[in-house]
Amino acid sequence: MLIAWWLHLSMSDWAVLLLTIALVWTAEFINTALEAVVDLASPQQHPLAKVGKDVGAAAVLIAAFTSILVGLLILGPPLWEKMKIIFLK
């Protein structure tokens, strides 16, 4: 977030970044809740319990990769311009 402040991003860019961060946190919280419920419902190992946990973890992974792409799309171009100005002086 410090980089976004340093780059003087627009309010809409800030909103997208904050929503993306919230998406990753939400996915992680839902995954944690899902794992707790699966553990409660099926204390012994079960193939379907494993599938449920794996799918929850995959959702978090997808959210994390998406956040990386959003960050690169929003922060990349202005950061590249700043770096060119700094290093080409």
- Catalytic sites, residue numbers: 28
DSSP 63: H
Q: What would the two tokens of residue 26 be?
A: 């939400």
Alpha carbon distance 26, 64 (integer Å): 11
Q: What would the two tokens of residue 56 be?
A: 């929850």
Alpha carbon distance 55, 57 (integer Å): 5
The residues near 70 (Cβ < 8 Å, ≥ 6 apart) are: 16, 17, 20
